[in-house]
Structure 1
């Protein structure tokens, strides 16, 4: 699994981090110097440690390279500066506007499911339709992907968990291949984080036929499946419950807080009329729902 963490990204020094992000974004030293309005020689000196950046230069380079806010703070710390971006808990007073916006999106999504995820795909909040769906899919089973409190589920782990959602996803391998690619790509940004590495390790342990040694993704889409649809639906079947859904991901615009940038709202929509009817009927039937 060590190949998930490029050596330069794992380094704590500023030169290594700058080389990592420049390479990740596909910039040459010349291209980055032109984008940042400095000489190529200065970029070379920064990457070799022969020059130290100013705080303004760190932020300018991070902006040009599209570095996420959490990693911008890390770049600043590596350069000897204090972090520039706050990281507030969603329940804290400064996040009141964000909470209100999320609550509005969740409510407007009814009678169809919607869930709020953090950067590690932990379920932060969900609307009633999502909780109803989760109850039907798990049918009282307790997936290993629940956190230590036994209340909050990790949505990504639950998809691959043999005791979670994997058995009730009819096209699990097709969905799994797509999600694994997404997980692998996102882990390249935060692979140094032990939690992120543990998520990938557990998926690889459950599905060694999909993840090989060193984090190599195995298997490709079957050409016999024909042309792919515009969006990949998730086909769910648990007992009498059968549904076909696709989803969208919403993020907050112009975030200035680490938590705000990392929150994602996944909204699910019916992929056929039968699914639409199911969720509309469920909304009219009171039922016991679980808390995320």
Structure 2
């Protein structure tokens, strides 16, 4: 598709409005403009100002990456920078992330980007990463592939069908709300993975979660572990990279799991101390 064939800002704004299931009147009221002007913008009869594009994008909850695309489609320069996490300008962010990851030990924690690629992890995360084959961890692990590929966590999981439904449902919702084509491609890939026969429930056996959260139970050399997770994001991000980062923190579901993770962390620390003394 050539540059002159790219959709204009009006077309893109209409797509975002429809994705959010808002009428022109509803969006116009939220953005303090008239339905007539919004209609003219969407049909290309009026060029929106830079401020109008940003205001509409804000009320449509458009991701920062796509806000830049909207601005360029309207003939304006992007306003949100996209700095690499390892860059000098992100030193404070890296420090905060590392503090959070280290402080969460002995429990696993990981940082992922918008496509669920692992960009940072604490040492305790090895308990999840090490059960996957090398080809799923190289060159960089992807959390969704690790969690859904039949040779990844499903090969060691207990009650995997419930976890799979939860993960795919969340990923599908992300695709719907972001309109991200790359994320959609990831969903198509992982949803097509073969499901272990013993973990695929018949339709009549499907049921909702039995716990307050959906636990992930899997077998490891350390025994059967049960964990659940929570995801944290940065508040009021003004950088594309930062807006797309998510920190997933895993917690033990029961006392045996907590004990194993604490004992494992203690053993790792002792090995490091012994190595330092020997060197």
Q: TM-score band (shorter)? A: 0.7 to 0.9
Q: CA RMSD in A?
A: 2.6
Q: What does residue 45 of structure 1 align with?
A: 40
Aligned pair partner of 1:169 in 157, 170, 178: 157
Map 1:52-67 onto structure 2 (within 5 A): 52-67=47-62
**1:55–1:48 distance in 2 versus 1, CA, 3 Å:** same
**1:47–1:226 distance in 2 versus 1, CA, 3 Å:** closer
Normalized against structure 2, the TM-score is what?
A: 0.87
Cα deviation, residue 220, structure 1: 9.6
* Number of aligned residue pairs: 264
**1:223–1:132 distance in 2 versus 1, CA, 3 Å:** closer
Normalized against structure 1, the TM-score is what?
A: 0.83
Gaps (5+ residues) in structure 2? 1-5, 273-279
**1:13–1:106 distance in 2 versus 1, CA, 3 Å:** same
Map 1:100-111 onto structure 2 (within 5 A): 100-111=95-106
**1:205–1:133 distance in 2 versus 1, CA, 3 Å:** closer
Map 1:73-88 onto structure 2 (within 5 A): 73-88=68-83
**1:252–1:220 distance in 2 versus 1, CA, 3 Å:** farther
Whole-Å separation in 2 of the counterparts to 1:265 and 1:118: 9
Of structures 1 and 2, the one scoring higher in RCO (CA 8 A, sep 6+) is 1
Q: What do the CA deviations read for 1:26-47 (whole angstroms, capped 9, x no partner)?
A: 2211111111111110011111
Whole-Å separation in 2 of the counterparts to 1:219 and 1:112: 30
Whole-Å separation in 2 of the counterparts to 1:243 and 1:178: 19
Whole-Å separation in 2 of the counterparts to 1:261 and 1:69: 7
Cα deviation, residue 183, structure 1: 1.2
**Does residue 192 of structure 2 align to residue 205 of structure 1?**
yes
Structure 2 SS opposite 1:87:
coil
**Contact 1:243/1:275 (<8 A) preserved:** yes
Map 1:1-292 onto structure 2 (within 5 A): 12-135=7-130, 137-138=131-132, 141-143=133-135, 145-146=136-137, 150-193=138-181, 195-207=182-194, 225=207, 228-286=210-268
Gaps (5+ residues) in structure 1? 1-10, 210-217
Structure of higher CA gyration radius: 2
Structure 2 SS opposite 1:66:
coil
